[in-house]
Amino acid sequence: MVPLGRGATTGKITRNKKAEPGTRQGNGWPEPYIKNLDLFYNLVDLLQDVAAKHKATVPQVVLAWLRDRPNVDSVVLAARNKEQLHENIASYNLKLTDEDISQITDLTALEPIYPLWHRAMNSYDRASNAEKVYLDAYNKLMNSKSQDI
Amino acid sequence: MDYNLFGNSGLNISKYALGTIPFSGTKGFEKVSDMDQETANYMVDYALDQGINQFDTANLYAKGDAEIVLGKAIRNKRHDMVISSKTGFPLTDNPNDVGATRINIESSIDATLERLGTDYIDLYYVHCWDGQVPVNETVQVMNDLIKKGKIRYWGVSNYSGWALAKTHTLAVENNMMPPIAQQIYYTPESREAEYELLPAGKELGIANSIWSPLGEGLLRVK
């Protein structure tokens, strides 16, 4: 196993820095659709903080968060060079703390679109087991927001 | 590396898989990479050495060239590799060279096997939902490919929740093999797969495999 953080990253997309040529995003690849650019930049800031704390890289933090999300069975990694390959696979040794995980999960919490807000609010007990974890998160988000009108 | 049975199947796969979008980097995929065969061989060797047994490709990637590069990288390791590929996106102007139809799937699998230089693949995905063809046709042809020994299992990718459930239900209600996996997009920046796809996959016995976990390079941030 390669130590965490050895791999040189090349992307460097942040609020203050555009994607660089020689990377997929910097080369004008059209995907993905970014729904909320502010949230994306805030997420990058948070991921950089978590990565620094673990002496890891942002991609490694993303992969460590993703592989332990509920109902994720497999994660397909790709790399354009050996360094990225080593970096990606070494993320398997990165163990995030519960706090790291909840910070990332809370920042990127999904809005409960209908019928999910209604089901989370009114018929949680009758949900399928695999979806309860998501309904919990919707209830948490709804309870955290003021509904005074 | 941890291993688990993939969905409701006997296929044992590693949690991490190696994707091959960057293999070759030709035919419209120059923006993704510029990779030579030697590097691709190294990646397959290194992944296997790290316990990764799953290798994913598609006829779309570099319009077949990624399959050729992966095929050359197999060398004598075929038995240790679980190989998946996909079809569905158009690669030519022929109106029958697209979608989840019998004619496209039957011709695509033969071309994929030839490019990979292997007699079978372990898992064959429909790359995107085709609402223009009866689901029954897709389910039938995938089951035929299993009977012919060209594929071991089949899956779907980028389907909506209802399309996934419709496909699965139609297969099992007709005593045919349903998809065992779906390959879907899921990152911390883009979590919509939680709305329907992730819980649906779990409830149906369809494994959830995540493509582009770094958001197509978006989250490859320093």
B42, containing H or E segment:
helix B37-49
Indicate the residue type of B126. V
User: What pLDDT is attached to residue B158?
Assistant: 98
Collect all residues with Cβ–Cβ distance below 8 Å to A38 and sequence separation of at least 6. none
What does the block give as tokens for B53?
A: 């047994």
User: What pLDDT is attached to residue A15?
Assistant: 78
Q: What is the Cα–Cα distance from A147 to A88, expressed in whole angstroms?
A: 42
User: What pLDDT is attached to residue A3?
Assistant: 43
**Which positions in chain A touch B192 (Cβ < 8 Å)?**
110
User: What pLDDT is attached to residue A113?
Assistant: 97
User: What pLDDT is attached to residue A2?
Assistant: 45
* 0.90 surpassed by complex ipTM: yes
Q: Which domains does chain B have, with CATH numbers?
A: 3-211 (3.20.20.100)
User: What pLDDT is attached to residue B206?
Assistant: 98
What does the block give as tokens for B87?
A: 């079809």
pLDDT digits (tens, 9 = 90+) for B43-56: 999 999 999 999 99
Residue numbers of B between 29 and 48 with CB closer than 8 Å to A: 30-35, 39, 42-43, 46-47
User: What pLDDT is attached to residue A10?
Assistant: 41
**Under a CB-based contact definition with an 8 Å cutoff, are residues B185 and A32 in contact?**
yes
Run means of pLDDT, 10 residues per run, chain A, 149 residues: 40 71 82 90 96 97 98 96 97 98 97 98 98 97 91
Q: Do A130 and B222 touch (CB under 8 A)?
A: no
Query: Is B61 tagged catalytic?
Result: yes
What does the block give as tokens for B172?
A: 């099992």
In chain B, which stretches have pLDDT less than 70? none
Collect all residues with Cβ–Cβ distance below 8 Å to B202 and sequence separation of at least 6. A71, A130, B208
